[in-house]
Structure 1
Amino acid sequence: MTDPSWVERNQLWTRLRRAVDQHPEPLPTPLAVVDLDAFDANADDLVRRAAGTPIRVASKSLRVPALIRRALEVPGFAGVLSYSLREALWLHDEGVCDDLLVAYPSVDRGALARLTTSDSAARAVTLMVDDPAHLDLVDAVRGSDVEVRVALDVDAGLRLAGQHVGPKRSPLHSPEQVLGLARLVAGRPGFRLVGVMTYEGQVAGLPDVVPGQRARSAIVRQLKKASLHQLAERRHHLASALREIAPLEFWNAGGSGSLETTGADPAVTELAAGSGLLVPTLFDHYQSFTPRPAAFFGLPVTRRPTATMATVHGGGLVGSGAPGLDRAPLPWAPPGLHLTGLEGAGEVQTPLVGDPASSLAIGDLVWFRHAKSGELFEHVTTAHLVRGDRIVDSVPSYRGQGQAF
């Protein structure tokens, strides 16, 4: 569980203020920074938890090519788990990686046509499918007879008392459904079945020691335990049956919150992680690990409505998912600041209350954390990389390179 002391958060505020003040040019806001000391420590901890199972970098949780490259340089990381085919093709063209697994099925006709007309891209990129229609679409736009690498996205949700617990992703759940599509891919000209994905989001993506939610957290931990038991049995049987159909290169599973447990499954050959590198607020309260927040965005105080309130410019960088307070940005440094119940995080202004508000001056920067990991970098063109109290590099995000996937 991430619970830094207020002393550490005040030290962060001081460090980041010095870093910005020492920069030779004024920096526009929102000002996104990544603490490289925390990023590197988190990368090492993810590798430790994976215990020898390779980790694919989940690009959706970074969206900054330099950070993807940095993670890939750490022994124990290998390959990229992309969230868009067009993104995967761009990362390949940019030379970021030559082993790209697209985590979601693509119906992007233009990107599919590009994939099938490039031998090098077709060797580097693996498509995700869970329906014969995905294969039909590839054939409909196919520009050559290049062989397309394919992986099956198998539902990894928990089936309990007739209910489905977990992300609503693939329709492939029963062995008959999985093996039926596997045979179809293996027997279809122009395609090669090379892998499987089973993403157990109800295990990897749910905090389970949330303050003030003791009963709910206990239920979540029990659901995780049941999911892992059910998945281990399903993966074992499916892996055995799939070996009779095609020689698989990989079985991808897990996420930042489940590396130890998922990596212990003999069927799993690789894991995926991304949020555990930057640590957004939704990854604060996990029993399995204690990461260090590494990504922050700074907003300037622009006015003082009252003696006990400070208003910053902007702030409405709200995380995706079911709407709720856990999706709002969290004022982090200096510690003790809070959003107001009436305005929350606004598009052009965000009032803040709490003890430090009375001492903030016009022009001071307040540092926030985003609820989700890579989504922060959809709002900025540049990520400023900080080591200690200095900005050591400024690198473009996807947006900064003119890309929006």
Structure 2
Amino acid sequence: MSPAIAHATGPARDRIRYDRATAGLDAPLAVVDLHAFDANAADLVRRAHGKPVRVATKSVRCRALLERVLRQDGFAGLMSHTLAESLWLARSGFEDVLLAYPSADRAGFAELTADPKLARAVTVTIDDPAQLALIDSARTGREVVRVCLELDTSLRLLGGRVRIGALRSPVHDPARLAQLARAVNRRPGFRVVGLMAYEAHIAGVADALPRRPLRSTAVRLVQSAARRELAARRAAAVRAVREVAELEFVNGGGTGSVQHTAAEAAVTEVAAGSGLYQPRLFDNYRSYQGRPAALFALPVVRRPGLGMVTVLGGGYPASGTPGADRLPVPCFPAGLRLARQEGAGEVQTPLLGTVADDLLIGDRVWFRHAKAGELCERFAALHLVEGERLAGTVPTYRGEGQTFL
């Protein structure tokens, strides 16, 4: 370890490491800190209490890092976000790919139903018999399609007039899910093999918001009630479906709820992905503390005035309801902030703060993205950092010419 790093602490040490590791590269660039990535992976396994963790690919979007995490004990299988991605991953050698969202990709279904290797590797998710009809309309072969049923996880109050949770599956009642399983069984060429239930309102909502104690308390109370209700209903759904079909897996959870979901006896595996990169939307959870592993650097290209610099690029907002929490934030050097009137711009981003006066043209400012894998849609490569050295460079999905959504 160099003397400069040995005497630095926290963010200052990380800034030195990343600057040194990528000194021979031009910014803009993105890095993944492998020590932080591996530590986050180990924490997910620890919180899963012995149940396998299925990796959510949309939160990683890099084949090399998917392979890296699957080599670690405690991880098994992928959870994909499009059928085209699922088929690409299966053709690349991944043998257990759960497509977690319904698809209308007829060309993809034509390929899936005609290829034994793809049909064995890929499981598709449905929540409506009409989705089965669409698959059949595209069918070009006789391969059996592996099917996962999705249960709505939302918490419904006041007789259903209040709904807390993501607008995903329409199937809320265990009996209706069993009816859907029967509909699959009646249709030749399909087989129910799994059940999934993603509790986004628990796994993806922070419960320890800075300077907002009342809201944090309210979130925790609602999440506690939602966990209790869902645990009972999910168990009932599993029992009901198992009377109709033999389930290979019951999937649930997400980065923010791994330990709670894994504690349910009815669940056989948990899903997680964001916790590997630890984007800033996952900073404020009482239940765990991840290490930021994915960052990007932008070069200083202007100095408009005192306390100001402008960096190239930066307009990388995250999906979801628009707001300040969806914007990337500068983290190194500490003390910089986005200009309120401009925010993060497509071509340039002005930054304010007295520390800006210490930055020169060509210096780097390091940022964190609000969400996980979406960062990879902006960069063709991820530079892998170990300590203060560059350990390698790997392509993102985009770098391999793949843009699935």
Given residue 17 of structure 1, which amino acid in structure 2 is its aligned partner? Answer: D
After TM superposition, the structure 1 = structure 2 runs for residues 310-329 of structure 1, keeping only pairs within 5 Å, are 310-329=309-328
What's the CA shift for 1:174?
Answer: 1.6
Give 3-state SS (helix, strand or coil) of 1:288's partner. Answer: coil
The residue type equivalent to 1:114 in the other structure is E
Give, as a single letter, the amino acid of the residue that structure 2 aligns with 1:306: G
CA distance in 2, matches of 1:42, 1:238: 31
Find the partner of 1:129 among 121, 126, 130: 126
Following superposition, the deviation at residue 390 of structure 1 comes to 1.1
Residue 175 of structure 1: how far off its partner (Å):
2.5
Partner of 1:16: 18
Following superposition, the deviation at residue 233 of structure 1 comes to 1.0
Q: Distance in 2 between matches of 1:211 and 1:173?
A: 34
Structure 1 counterpart of 2:214, one-letter code: A
Match of 1:353 in 2: 352
Matched with 2:103 is: 106
Identity of aligned residues (%): 53
Q: What residue ranges of structure 1 are gaps of 5+ in the alignment?
A: 1-5
Question: 1:358 Cα deviation (Å)?
Answer: 1.1
CA deviation map 1:132-164 (0-9, x unaligned): 111001111111111000000110111122311
Asked whether the 8 Å contact 2:153–2:198 carries over to 1, the reply is yes
Give a deviation string over 1:210-247, Cα, whole Å, max 9, x none.
Answer: 10111111111111101110011101211111111011
Which position in structure 1 is the counterpart of 2:403?
404
Equivalent AA in structure 1 for residue 219 of structure 2: V
24, 34, 50: which one pairs with 2:48? 50
The SS at the match of 1:57 is strand
Greater mean deviation of Cα atoms: 330-339 or 235-244: 235-244
Question: 1:3-82 counterparts in 2 under 5 A?
Answer: 7-21=9-23, 23=24, 26-27=25-26, 29-82=27-80
Q: Distance in 2 between matches of 1:355 and 1:292?
A: 27
Contact 2:175 2:237 in 1 (8 A): no
| Separation (CA, whole Å) in 1 of partners of 2:30 and 2:255 | 22
Offset of residue 383 of structure 1 = 0.5
CA distance in 2, matches of 1:270, 1:87: 22
Indicate the SS of the match to 1:236: helix
Give matches, 1:146-161, under 5 Å.
146-161=143-158
- 3-state SS of the aligned residue for 1:159? strand
Q: Check whether the contact 2:175–2:240 (CA below 8 A) recurs between aligned residues.
A: no
Distance 1:306 1:41 in 2: 41
Separation in 1 of the partners of 2:151 and 2:236? 13
| Corresponding residue number in structure 1 for 2:245 | 246
Deviations 1:170-203 (CA, angstroms, capped at 9, x unpaired): 0011233211111111221100000101100000
Aligned mates of 2:204, 2:210 — CA distance in 1: 17
What TM-score does the superposition give when structure 2 sets the normalisation length? Answer: 0.96
SS at match of 2:304: strand
Query: How many residues are aligned here?
Result: 395
Amino acid at match of 1:365: R
Runs (4 or more) in structure 1 with deviation over 3 Å come to none
Aligned-pair CA distance for 1:94:
1.2
RMSD: 1.0
Q: Deviations over 1:52-94 (max 9, x none)?
A: 0100000000001011111101100000000111101001111
Distance in 2 (CA, whole Å) between partners of 1:319 and 1:146 is 38
1:91 aligns with 2:127: no
Aligned partners of 1:104 and 1:240: how far apart in 2? Answer: 23
Q: 2:286 is matched with which residue?
A: 287
The answer (yes or no) to whether the contact 2:35–2:386 under 8 Å persists in 1 is: yes
How is 1:217-296 mapped onto 2 (pairs within 5 angstroms)? 217-296=216-295
Write the distance in 2 (CA, Å) between the matches of 1:173 and 1:383: 40
SS in 2 for 1:43: helix
**Cα pair 2:58 2:81 within 8 Å, conserved:** yes
| Alpha-carbon distance, 1:298 to partner | 0.3
SS in 2 for 1:170: coil
Partner residue in 1 for 2:4? none
Residue identity matched to 1:206: V
1:20 and 1:356 map into 2 onto residues whose CA distance is: 22
Out of 134, 142, 145, the residue aligned to residue 145 of structure 1 is 142
Q: Check whether the contact 2:194–2:249 (CA below 8 A) recurs between aligned residues.
A: yes
Output the CA distance in 2 between the equivalents of 1:30 and 1:114: 38
Query: For each residue in 1:268-294, what CA deviation from the matched residue of structure 2 results, as whole angstroms up to 9, or x when unmatched?
Result: 000001000000110000011000000
Aligned equivalent of 1:166: 165
Partner of 1:197: 196
- Partner residue in 2 for 1:390: 389
Q: TM-score, normalised by structure 1?
A: 0.96
Rounded Cα–Cα distance in structure 2 between residues aligned with 1:87 and 1:59: 9
Conserved 8 A contact 2:127-2:151: yes
Residue type matched to 2:206 in 1?
Answer: P
